[in-house]
Amino acid sequence: MLRERLALLVLFGVACAAYSDPWWHTPTAVVSQPQGVNFVAAGAGATRGAGYPSGWYGYWAIDDQDRMGQSRRVFERVGKAGLKRLIYFDSGEVGDYAGFFGADGKMLYNGWSIPWWKGEPVTARWFGLEAFMANVPWSPWPTAQAYGLPTFTFPDGRPAADHLYDALAHRGLDGNWEFDFFANKGVTDDIARKTGLDQISTSQSGREDMQGKSGWRTTRLVHVDLTNPQLRDYRRAELTRMIERVRPEGVHIDNHGDVHILYPSRTAFGTWATHRFPDWLKANATPERLRGLGIDDPDKFDIRQYVIAKSADASDKPAQRAGRLRDPSWTEDPIWLAFLISHVDASLDYHRGVFRAGKEAAARAGLDLLICGNVVPCFPGRALMRGACDIVHFECRSEGRYGPYRATGLPPWGRIGGLARLGAAISEAGYCWPSQYVPKHLSGAGHEKLHGVLAFDCLANRGIMDYGHWYLDGYSPGTEASAAHVNRFVRANAGLLKGRHYLADVGLVYCTWSEIATITPTMPITARYADEYFGWAAFLDHHHAQWDLILAQDIAQGGLARFPIILLPSVSVLTDAQVAALRQYVDGGGRLIATGLSGTRGGPGDWLMLRSTGALEALRPNARVRIDGGLPGADYWNKDRNPAASKKMMDLVSTDDGSGRLQTDAPATVSAQLNMLEGEKALALDLTNFDVDPATDARRPAAPCRVTLRLPKPFAGRALRARGLAPGSQMGSREVTIAPPTSPGPDLATLEIPRFDDFLMVLIEPR
C-alpha cells in the first residue's frame, strides 16, 4: 500500500511538473450542471459537468454529443466565462440510452431530444456500451474494433459479446443483477408509440420528488463489478480519450473509490469478485491456515456459496436467512473478513489505475488537470483513496439517513465537521467539495438562510459547498444568489483560506478498517464505529472544543505530539506499529482516550481478527490513559445529544488546568474553530451561527460573545490586533471592526466578538 501511494505521488509530481502550484490548490468554489445553473450568478470558479458527460455508453457517446452540439457549446461558454471546466466521467455504471435513427442510418434523436421529434420515420434502438462492444453494423460511428479495444470476457475466458452486462454487472448474494432505469417525463405515450420506443422500452412511475423515475424509460444502466481488471483497463483507455479530445481543466469521476461492500449481499458478489478471492487467499494465507479454516482447495472455494450455506435455515424462510445475514458473529468470521479485505484491495486497484491513467494523459497533453471524484468519505474504504483523488467531491444528506448512516443533520444542531474534515484529509488539495442535499421542500427560494448556514459550516470544516447538484430526491439548498453569497466570500479570501491548519487540543482518529470490521453481509453495524466517530465530532463542535482529524494510517508516521489529547472513538483495528506509536506518544506526556472496542482487533494483515488481549491493555494503568468500554459518542449521535453521554464525554476530555486552546461564553448554536494561517502570519477564528429555523428560514443573529485564546509561541507575549471579515457586498467580503484583544495572561488573548449574522472570520495578527 505504501509503495502504491509513493508511486502515485511521483506520478502527481510528473503530471504537475510544469505547474508549481496547480490551480485547484487555491480554494475554488464549484457549481454542478451548468446547463441548468447560471454559474456566473452563482459566483463559482469551476463547474462540474461542463458540457461532456461520459463513462456510461462507450466511446461513441462523445460523437453523439458532438452531433447535437450542446456539449461543445456549454464547454466553450464556461471557458469564455473564465471558469475551470470539469467534465463528468462515471466509473461505476455502464449501459444504454434510447437512440432514434433515420433511413440513412444517422442518429436523429436520442432519449433526451425525442420530445422534440418532428414526425419523420425513425427506428428506435438501445444505443450504448453493449452495441459498441458488439461492433454492430448499424453504428453511425466507429465501434470497439476500430479502436483496437479487446473484448470483455468472463473470468473463465468465455467471451461476453452476447452477454456483456452479465460479465460486467455487480451481483448480489442471489447471483442476479438488474437494470437501473431512468425516465424522461417529456416523452408522451403518442411519441413512444409512433417512434417505436414502446417496442424496446416501458414506462415507470415514482414519487413526485424523485427526479428521473417517472415517464418512459429512456436510459438503462447497470452498476459494475469494480474488481474487474478488464473493465479497469477499458476505463483507463476511455478516460484517456476523453482528456485528449476535450482538453478540460478537470475531471469529476462519479463512483470514484466505491468498493461495493456497504451492502455486500446486494453488490459484492460479481463474477470477478468471487473469482479473484481464491487467488487472494493463496497469496495471503499458508496452506496450513487454509486447512484450519476448512478450505482444502482454495481454487474450488466459492465465497457466495459459503455465505449462503452459513446463513441457511432449516425452514428456508427468507426472514430467518435475512436475520442470519445481519448476525454480528459475521464480524468474527475470518473467511468473511478476508473477503471484505480482498474486495477493497481489488476495487482500489481499479480506482487508482483510472486515476493514474488520467494523470498520465494530462502530463502528455501538458494539462494542469484536476481529478476529483464522488468519494463519500465515511463509506467503507474511502479513506484509503488519499493519493488517488485531488479533491473529494462528495454527496451527503442533511436530513434522514444516507445509506446506513444517520445524516449530518439540520440546524441548529446538525454539523458536517466529521464528514468535511475527513473529505479534506483524503484530498490532495487540503479541502473538499461537499454536495449537501436537502429535501425538496427545503430547497430553492425561501431557504437562502438555511443554505448559508450549511455552506459556512462546510467552509469552517475545510469544505466548499457545491451548488446545483441533485440526485433522485436530494436537492441543493438555496438559490444562485445564496450560493454567490458564500462563493464570493471564498473567492475574496482564497489567500487566507489556503494552506491553513487547525490549532487543536484533540486529535480525533478516523479508521476506515474499523468501519470495515463492522460489516456483516447485510450492512455495517454503525453503532460499533461510525456512530461513535460522528458523535464525538458533533460533541466537540457543540462544546467549542478544538479538534483536528487524524487518519489512522498516519498514526505510525508520527505527528501525534502536536495534540495534547489523542481520541480513539471505538477504533477497533490497530496494527502493532500503531500501538507502538501510541505508547511512545503517552510516554512523551500525551493523553490517550479510547472508547468502545478500541484496540480489540489486528490490522488488515491479520485479517481484522479479534486479538486475544486488547492492544491497549498494557497502557491502562497509565494515569494519562482513559479506556472506556462504552459508546458515549454513539449515544450522543443517535439520542439527540443524550445528557448522560454528554457528561461522560465531557469528563473524558476535560482538563483541570484550563490549558485548552479556546474558551468562550458563546452558546452551542455558535461554532468556533481556531486556525493558523499559512506561514504563521496570523490566526483565524471561524465563527458560524447555526441559529436558523429550517422550516421558516428565520435566523436570529448571533449575540455578542467573548472568546479567550491560548496563543501559540509566535503570538504569545506580543501586542496583537484583530479585524473581522464577513460575507457581503459585491466584492464578497466586508470588514467588521473588532476591538484590540486584551491579555489576561502572558499567552492569552481575549476577544470581544460583536453580533453577526451567519459567518465571521476574525484575523488575529501582531501589530
The CATH code that applies to domain 506-653 is: 3.40.50.880
Burial of 102 by CB count in 10 Å (0-12 exposed, 13-18 middle, 19+ buried)? middle
Per-residue model confidence (pLDDT) at position 16 = 42
Per-residue model confidence (pLDDT) at position 220 = 96
Separation of alpha carbons 127 and 634, rounded Å: 48
Pairing of strands 391-397, 433-437: parallel
pLDDT averaged per 10 residues, the chain (length 767): 44 47 96 82 92 90 89 92 94 95 94 95 96 94 95 93 90 94 94 96 89 92 97 97 96 96 96 97 95 94 95 71 89 98 97 98 96 96 97 94 92 96 97 95 95 97 93 88 96 95 97 98 96 97 97 93 97 97 96 98 97 96 96 95 95 81 96 96 97 96 97 92 91 92 92 97 95
Beta-sheet strands, E only, within 617-713: 625-628, 662-664, 670-676, 683-689, 692-693, 698-699, 705-710
Separation of alpha carbons 631 and 514, rounded Å: 14
Q: What is the pLDDT of residues 22-51, one digit of tens each?
A: 999 999 999 997 667 888 899 999 999 888
Separation of alpha carbons 600 and 614, rounded Å: 5
Per-residue model confidence (pLDDT) at position 316 = 64
pTM confidence score: 0.93
- Torsions phi, psi for 560 (to 5 deg): -75, -25
Per-residue model confidence (pLDDT) at position 4 = 45
Separation of alpha carbons 468 and 49, rounded Å: 11
For residues 627 and 566, is the Cβ–Cβ distance under 8 A?
no
Per-residue model confidence (pLDDT) at position 319 = 67
CB atoms closer than 10 angstroms to residue 730: 6
DSSP state of 740: P
Per-residue model confidence (pLDDT) at position 314 = 61
Report the candidate in 572, 542, 575, 541 with the shortest Cα–Cα distance to residue 557: 575
Q: Please state whether the peptide bond connecting residue 412 to the residue before it is cis, i.e. omega within 30 degrees of 0.
A: yes
What amino acid occupies position 112? W
What amino acid occupies position 102? G
Per-residue model confidence (pLDDT) at position 38 = 87
Domain 662-766 has CATH 2.60.40.1180: yes
Burial of 155 by CB count in 10 Å (0-12 exposed, 13-18 middle, 19+ buried)? middle
- Domain extents in the chain: 506-653, 662-766
Separation of alpha carbons 357 and 349, rounded Å: 12
Separation of alpha carbons 77 and 83, rounded Å: 9
Pairing of strands 107-110, 250-254: unpaired
Percent of the chain with pLDDT over 90: 86
Q: What is the pLDDT of residues 216-252, one digit of tens each?
A: 999 999 999 999 999 999 999 999 999 999 999 999 9
- Torsions phi, psi for 222 (to 5 deg): -120, 145
Per-residue model confidence (pLDDT) at position 483 = 95
Separation of alpha carbons 564 and 507, rounded Å: 8
110 pairs with which residues across the strands? 99
| DSSP-based three-state secondary structure for 93 | strand
